[in-house]
Amino acid sequence: MIEEYLPLIIMLVLGFGVAVLFLYLAEWLGARRTTHGKQTTYESGMEPLGTARDRFSIKFYMVAVSFIVFDIEVVFMYPWAVQVGELGLVAFWTMTVFMLILFAGYFYELKKGGFEWD
């Protein structure tokens, strides 16, 4: 039984070994000169404004969660849409219930003001 897993074990050991080797080589051969530019915070090529400890509005997080929820919706709907003809009525009604739940969340967020950009 171990013979079946031997190629996988060898691949994992080699991969781990190469990763550790590259980390040590980068540490050993890499440049060590530090400058002020290397020590500053990177913000899309712009000079940093303020500190990294500033508080964000809760609306920022609401938009981020909304994006994730509706992005996941598309991830589930695309394979269903490709195969809807072959899946039958049960899959159709299951996706209808799924979409109704998502629309309920959409209208809840709309009611709470999650889409207001001021």
What pLDDT, in 10s, does the model give residues 16-49?
999 999 999 999 998 888 887 777 766 666 776 7
Residue 43: the pLDDT is 64
**Pair (27, 71) in one structural domain:** no
**Pair (60, 118) in one structural domain:** yes
Q: Give residue-wise pLDDT tens across range 64-95.
A: 888 888 888 888 888 888 988 898 899 999 99
Residue 113: the pLDDT is 78
101 occurs within a structural domain: yes
64 occurs within a structural domain: yes
Domain span holding position 67: 56-118
The domain tally of the chain equals 2
Q: How far apart are CA 75 and CA 82, in angstroms?
A: 12
46 occurs within a structural domain: no
Residue 118: the pLDDT is 66
